[in-house]
Structure 1
Amino acid sequence: MTMGTTKAADRAPLFGPDTRFAAFFDDPRWALAIVRATVLEAAHPQIGAALVDNSTFVAHPWRRLRNTFLSMRRMFSPDPAVREREAARLNRLHARMSGADSHGRPYDAMDRAARAWVVATLFDSAVTMCRLSGQPLDEDTMERMYAEYRAFLAALEGDAGELPETLVGFWRYFDRVVEEELEDTEAARIILYRLFDHLPAPALLVGAPTLWAAGRAVAGPLVGAVTVASLPEPYRRRAGLPQTPGAAALMQGAYLATGLARFLPEGWLDAQSVIEVLTLSPGSDDPRARTAAALRARMKRASALLRLLAPLGADTDPGARAAAGTGQGRRSAEEFFRQVLDQTGDGHLDWPDLAAMARELSTRLDLDEPEENRLYDAFAAWWRELQAALDTDGDGRVSVTEYAAAAPSLAPTALIRVAEVLFDATDKDGNGTIDAHEYRALFRTAFHRDLATTEGGYGRSAFVGGFLSFMSGRRTGTPYDPLLAEA
């Protein structure tokens, strides 16, 4: 470790609210930098394969954003117990992700070199973000921040040795990986050219599909162009990524413009509050829901006006229409498959989709390892039941056609077990009733109405019945919609 790094590490803690890393949480520039970092992560063959097979970033990007943000908050908490618990959870999550890519090459989300590369992209993108926005980091600050990122890697897997000790060594390592290991992966292409073009509306704007489609049609290509222009030139060349004329100036302008947010009064920008408001469902009893409802009403009026002035056609935003449901309180089998079962957005149902559901539920409930394993096991049994009953062509997965044809006649034996295990995991005090606090831990929405109709809480039979009604009856407008169906 260099002298500068040692001094920087001695001056301030490597975790907590006073770190350089924490300073970026509420920085709007970080939105651009995190997209860049995600593309560089996805360009790594191991990480790209894991993302394509297991991630929900295509079908549920807003949920993925919220969970990633909360995880990073925990990992940089000043409380060692919080960091250790989150690191253990992440390690269990990644240990369940392994397989082979489209070329038959094995991947493992616990691969030490791949995990180091994730941290490396975050650090490099933070440095790039500051440089492009006209606020380059001095060497001392950069070394302090690098020490924080290496400490993050050490907290996650117990050894930061996969990243060089010095900054000089890091830049050599980074350039080598970019030039020799990164590829034009499917995951990187999805992020650059599909994700933003088809990004579903957040809950706040789900009632204004025309307005969302119009804004996305403009913003999507701009974000893509800015991201491509900010990537290392050797990777752009190897991946054949075209840089449109004027993209470099557009990139510089985007970073400079977002950097002006530093002149806003302190407290005006809070990333956690922005993300939570965007993802508030219409029925939420969060105090901010009234403000969100007023914004949603204005968005609907603006959307109606936009349709009058410039009709966008009936097929402009199928994703937003799907998210709104049928309007009849029920989904068709095809809609339920697309919105709920196909969590990874690849058009098929297989184990990674149900594992994603288990992962979301475990994350919300902050389960310990034994409880988490029971929930995963219950979902695995459900998958085996679905595969045996619905996979008629024997390809190891279930298509929407196979599901729609046979699902109505499927006896939900394993699904009942999933509901019972979920009830036990939610009922933290084990008293046989889910109270308001326990309910909020799972759903975080609209419990006041439900509590009033169930005389103070949910018993096992009511809870199981509600879960089965959603999963089997395909009902909309339930507490499970923001949990499993919305983006």
Structure 2
Amino acid sequence: MADPVAGPGVSFRRDLSEWRVALVAWRLLVLQAADPVVGAGMAEHSTYQAHPWRRVEHTLGSGRRLFYQDGEALRREVARLDRAHKRIRGTAPDGRAYDAEDAATRAWVLLTLFECVVAMRRLGGDPYDAGQLEAAYREFTGSVAAFGLPEGELPASAAELPAYFARAARERLEFTEATRYLLEDMLRGAPRPRRLWFLGDAGWRVLRVVVARAITALTVADLPPAVRERFGLVRTRRAALLSWLLHRGVGAVVPRLPDRLRYRSPEQGGAPARWRPPRQGRRRDARGSRVDRFFREVLDQTGDGFLTVHDLRAMAHNVCWQLELDEAAEARVYQAFDGWWEQLRAAMDANGDGKVSREEFVAATVAGCDRDPAYLEQGLLPALRAVFAAADTDGSGFLEADEYRAVFGGPRVHPAELSHGFRQLDVDGDGRITVEEFLHGFTEFFTARADSTPGTQLLGRA
């Protein structure tokens, strides 16, 4: 397939790849969360509360995968999304059943991605004309045809989109708890992005108050009028001015940049944070603090302070998303993480409510490692074996640096931090990690009393 950001003419793919799409990213999440099925799924299955930046990146990243791929790669991405959506179903707190495979919901999610790119152009002062809009929509529908949506779920032409969105606002959308949280609470409690490490926690707490107010005001100002009316949201003059200044300012600058600065490549993530070497701890027994950090930064995917089966499945989803696994390999990863959850539930869920608190997890893990040297073998290590097997894409029995990077890397992880983690696991220094080294490193993370022990800095900076 030709480079989507090269060549003349209108291209939806090219516009989706512009950096200024970040200005409508929060708007996109709010519109998607307003669908009651999406809102219910986010409440129970999503990691958006604990990992908001990753949630945005995955949403936009999946869009790039869909629209920048050749036919075979597009088919794999659609199959991956199909498998993920099969797991997102249940009953909402109000008693309504929800299922992410609902055709109308899938159409809404896809169309909001297209609509946000259209809004980005319009708000930036360079809107599509009627012909360009239809051309972009044909390009869009040509890719999403791979989802096999029933005939009639997508409007036949771009000219029908305004009526579609107005009807959805009147008849389908709701001010869900996920929508409310995105607009009112999420950014006020969002964790510090790793690239802003230099601010420190105190600096980030001050800055995020300003960021939260600005993004909330911008999002409300930019929502379609029918959606604002439906939710009783008011577009103030100050918010309208902020929207005009940001979109017009960025819209004037970004198109004049060279392509290497104007566009994200399909694989490109955000710039990594500057890396600092991890500090060596001198605590008598540092296991509790490490296990606590593992719970907060790795396990508690939903950010509610408790561990449930949905957190473990979200971890499995993130591993599978990074590696683009086939169905059989993906099933093995999910099965291993489900087994780990069963071990945790049996050992730590004393009242049988399907939740494990942070305090319960830390105390039980430290006590379990003290009581039984094989404690980790009952749950964590089988899950890690499945991750290792999935990451070993060439079947060599080793993790090379690029395979390790595919699992543990990401847009917010500095290459030096990845290299440090790799060296922690590569005990014999031969430039590759065996399954024994992989499991040994994680075992030391949970069992070593001193932070100076190799294997205890797998999460990077202390």
The verdict on a shared fold, with TM-score over 0.5 as the criterion, is yes
User: Scaled by the length of structure 1, what TM-score is found?
Assistant: 0.80
1:114-172, Cα deviation, whole Å (9 max, x unpaired): 01001121222222222222212100111111222222332234556311212333322
Native 8 Å contact 1:116 1:153 kept in 2: no
Query: 1:83-94 to 2 correspondence within 5 Å?
Result: 83-94=74-85
**Within 5 Å, which residues of 2 pair with 1:109-124?**
109-124=100-115
CA contact (8 A) 1:21 1:145 kept: yes
Shift of 1:274: 11
SS of residue matched to 2:32: helix
Displacement after TM superposition at 1:266 (Å) = 3.4
Unpaired stretches in structure 2, ≥5 consecutive residues: 369-374, 410-417
Secondary structure of 1:208's counterpart equals: helix
Distance in 2 (alpha carbons) for counterparts of 1:148 and 1:173: 19
Cα gap change, 1:132/1:430 in structure 2, threshold over 3 Å: closer, same or farther? closer
| 2:214 pairs with 1:236 | no
Aligned equivalents of 2:279 and 2:162: distance in 1? 47
Change (3 A) 1:278 1:199: farther
Normalized against structure 2, the TM-score is what?
Answer: 0.84
State the match for 1:188 in structure 2: 179
* Partner Cα distance (2:87, 2:280) in 1: 32
1:105 aligned partner: 96
State the AA in 2 paired with 1:194: D
2:65 to 71, 74, 91: 74
User: Which residue number corresponds to residue 481 of structure 1?
Assistant: 459
CA distance in 2: counterparts of 1:264 and 1:14, whole angstroms: 18
Partners in 2 of 1:398 and 1:460 — Cα distance?
Answer: 29
**Amino acid across the alignment from 1:215:** L
Please tell me whether the aligned partners of residues 151 and 160 of structure 1 are also in contact (alpha carbons under 8 angstroms).
no
Note if contact 1:98-1:106 (Cα within 8 Å) is conserved in structure 2. Answer: yes
Q: Please say which of residues 42-51 and 98-107 is displaced more in the overlay.
A: 98-107
Q: Give the direction of change, closer, same or farther, for the CA distance of 1:15–1:83 in structure 2 (3 Å limit).
A: farther
* Alpha-carbon contact 1:62-1:279 (below 8 Å) kept: no
1:49 deviates by: 1.0
1:408 is aligned to 2:356: no
- Distance, in Å, in 2 between the alignment partners of 1:422 and 1:212 is 33
Which secondary structure does the structure 2 equivalent of 1:99 belong to? strand
TM-superposition CA deviations, 1:246-296 (whole Å, max 9, x none) = 222222222111212222333223435997453457279xxxxxxxxxxxx
Counterparts of 2:243 and 2:205, CA distance in 1: 23
Deviations 1:420-443 (A, max 9, x none): 222222223333322333223323
Aligned counterpart, 2:46: 55
Q: CA-atom RMSD, angstroms? A: 3.3
Q: Deviations over 1:196-219 (max 9, x none)?
A: 222222222224224433332222
- 2:400 corresponding residue in structure 1: 435
Q: Amino acid of the residue matched to residue 481 of structure 1?
A: L
Tell me how far apart the structure 1 counterparts of residues 121 and 280 of structure 2 sit (CA, whole Å). Answer: 42
Tell me the residue number matched to 1:252: 244
1:78/1:274 Cα in 2 relative to 1: closer, same or farther (>3 Å)? closer
Identical columns (%): 37
Query: Match for residue 319 of structure 1?
Result: none
Q: Find the counterpart in structure 2 of residue 467 from structure 1.
A: 442
C-alpha displacement of 1:463 = 0.8
Contact map agreement 1:434 1:457 (CA 8 A) in 2: yes
Residues of 1 paired with 2:316 and 2:448: CA distance? 20
Match of 1:198 among 189, 196, 209: 189
Query: Quick one: structure 1 residues 245 and 140, their matched pair in 2 at CA, closer, same or farther if it must change by over 3 Å?
Result: closer
> 1:404 and 1:442, CA in 2 relative to 1: closer, same or farther beyond 3 A?
closer
CA distance in 1, matches of 2:330, 2:232: 42
Write the letter of the residue equivalent to 1:239: F
The answer to whether the 8 A contact 1:94-1:109 is kept is yes
* CA displacement, residues 190-241 of structure 1 (integer Å, 9 cap, x when unaligned): 2112222222222222242244333322222011101011112333233233
Q: Aligned match of 2:23 in 21, 24, 32?
A: 32
Q: Which moves more between the two structures, 437-446 or 351-360?
A: 437-446
What amino acid maps onto 1:420 in structure 2? R
Among 256, 260, 280, the alignment partner of 1:267 is 260
Aligned mates of 1:435, 1:264 — CA distance in 2: 37
Q: Indicate if the aligned counterparts of 1:41 and 1:47 stay in contact, CA closer than 8 A.
A: yes
Q: Does structure 2 retain, via aligned residues, the 8 Å contact 1:16–1:78? A: no
Query: Which one of 315, 319, 331 corresponds to residue 357 of structure 1?
Result: 315
> Runs of 4 or more off by more than 6 Å in structure 1?
12-16, 323-329, 472-479
Check if 1:446 corresponds to 2:419.
yes
- Does the CA contact (< 8 Å) of 1:153 and 1:159 recur in 2? no
Q: 2:87 aligns with which of 90, 93, 96?
A: 96
Unaligned runs of 5+ in 1: 1-11, 285-322
1:157 & 1:14 partners in 2: Cα distance? 25
| In structure 2, C-alpha distance between the alignment counterparts of 1:403 and 1:262, rounded to whole Å | 50
Aligned length: 435
Q: Distance in 2 between matches of 1:406 and 1:51?
A: 29
